[in-house]
Structure 1
Amino acid sequence: MAGKAVLVTGAGRGVGRGIALEMAAAGAAVVVNDLGTSLKGDGGEDVSPAEQVVAEIRAAGGKAVANHGSVASSADAKEMIKAAIDSFGRIDAVVNNAGNLRDTLFHKMEEADFDAVIAVHLKGSFNTSSAAAPYFKEQASGALVHMTSTSGLIGNMGQANYMAAKLGIVGLSKAIAIDMARFNVRSNAVAPFAWTRMVDSIPANTPEQARRVEGLKKLVPEKIAPFVVALTSDAGAKVTGQVFGVRNNEIYLFSQSRPIRTAHTAEGWTPDSVAERVFPQFANDFYPLHRSGDVFTWDPV
C-alpha cells in the first residue's frame, strides 16, 4: 500500500480502527473518519476516537488525517474524499465500515429507526463510493470494500433495518463492480466477525444467549484488517464482485444467489397447478429460518 491513500469510515474504534492502523503499517496514508457518535448514531460531539487513531499512526511514523463527517451526508462524503486529495494528492481505496444499530422487532420498529440504519450503512456506502468514483475513473484504478454482515446474508432476530441495509450493500457492491470494471475499479463486500460495541449490544438474558456472547468475545476486531489491506492492495487487483467473511483466523468466500431448482410446464401455470406441483417439488430445498448463530456454530479459532 506504499504511496496509496485510503479512506476508512467509522475508523475511530473496533474494526475500522484496526483497518486504519494496518493500512498505515502497510504504507498507506489514511483519512480516519469517525463521527464520534453513540451506537444508535446520535450525538457527534465526541471527536476524540478519530484523533486518537491519527495520533497512533503518526507516532508510528505514518501519515493520517482525521475527518468527522457523516457518511449519511453526500456533502460530508465528498469532503472525506477531498481530505485525501488535499492531504495526500490522491485516493486509491475506500473502506466503508461506518455503522449504527437500532435493533427492535419488525412489528415494533419505527420508521425513523429503519431510515437511520439504512442512511448510514447503505446510503453511506453509496455516498462515499460515489464521491470517489470520478477520481477512480480518471486514474483508471481504485478499490472499494463494503462491510456487509451475516445478519443480512443469513438472518437475525430484531434487525430488519440492519439486515435490509447489509444485504443491500451486497447488491450495491456487485453493481459497482459491474459498472466500474471497464475503469479497472474493483468492489467487494466483507462480513466481519468481531467483538465490538455493536456486537456488545446483543442481549444476554438467557443461558443460550450468554454462551453465544461469551463465544463472540473471542472475536478480535484487529483480525479483520490484514484481509482488507490485501484486498485493496495491488495483489487483489483481479478480485472483484465477491462476498467474503473474516472470523478470527478463518476467511470465507460466500456463495451468491443462483437457481437451485426449476419447475416447468408446457401448458403454463395456474394458481392450482403451482400449489399442487411446485410447492411440493421445491419443499425439500426451501431454506429454514436460520439465524447467523445457527450456521456459525463452532468456536472461533
Structure 2
Amino acid sequence: MTPALAQANNGNWQTAQRWARLLRPAYRVRLAAQWREGDGGALLIALHARRSAASLAAWRAAHPARPAVLVLTGTDLYRDIASDASAQRSLDLADTLVVLNELGPLGLPEALRAKAEIVLQSCAARAPLAHARRHLRAVMVGHLRDEKDPRTYWRAARRLGARPDIRLDHIGAALDPALGAEAAALAAALPRFRWLGGLPHALARRHIQAAHVLVHASRMEGGAHVVIEAIRSGTPVLASRIEGNLGLLGAGYEGVFEPGDDAGLAALLARARDDADMLPRLTAQLAPRVALFAPEAERASLHRIVAALLARPTP
C-alpha cells in the first residue's frame, strides 16, 4: 500500500513497484493508494507512517491479528514521528518497522527499535559510460522540493561559475514552482549549469552512468534510491552528512559535506576535478558495498520478513 502511484514517478512509487515484483510469484500482490475495509489480504505493507496512517488504522481495526509492515521514509524517521500523532500511532500499530538504511533504527524511539528491520533497496548493476576528460560532469537527481535541498547544490554551482572545466546538471521536476523558477534562472545565468527537468527513470539512470560524480544534498532521507543507483553504476557520490546517506555509503566514507554547506560541496567538486586520486579513492571505498544493493539481497530480506510474519500463530 503506497500513497504514491505511477504518476508520481518518485522514490515511494519506485520502492512499491519494485517490492511487488520481488515478492511475486511467491505471493499475490496488489498495489493501492489506500486500504479500505473489504479489500482483503493476509498481510499489509504500508509505505509512509503519516500518509498511510488511515489505511493502517483501518487494517488494524478490521484485522487485529493479521500482520502489518510499516516502511519508514526519511520524512517519517527524521521529522514526522517526532511530532505527528498519526505517524506515532502508525509505529505502534505495525508489527514490523522497515528502515531503508543501516542507521535507520537510530531514528526510532528506543522502545520500538526491537521491531525494526533493515532492508537495503536495490537496482541492477550498470557499467559507467564514457567520461569526458576535458571537464568534470556532476549530476544531482531529485525532484525540486525543500527536503532535497537543491539550493545548496545551486549555490555551489555559483561558487564554481568561473570554472569552465566543471559542469553541473540537475534532473528533477519542479514540485515547488518557486524552486523551478530559481532553477530556470540559474540555468540562464550560468552556461555550465543545466536544469534538465523531470526525466524518465531510464534516462536519468544513464545520466548517472555518464557523470563523474553524483551529488545528493538532501536534508532528510530514508535511503535514497538514486544514491544506490550511483553505487551500482560505479559513480562516486558526494552527499550531505545525514544518517540516511551515511547508512548507505558506510562508515568512513570521505565524500560527505555538512547539510547546507555549499562551500564545502564546491570544495569537494573542485577537488574531484583537480585531484586525480579523489574519485578513484571514493569508488574504491564504495566497491565493497556494491553487493549489498543487489536485487537478490533485497529479495531475500523481503521474503524473510514476510514469511516470518505469515508463519506466526494467530491468537
TM-score w.r.t. structure 2 length?
A: 0.36
TM-score w.r.t. structure 1 length?
A: 0.37
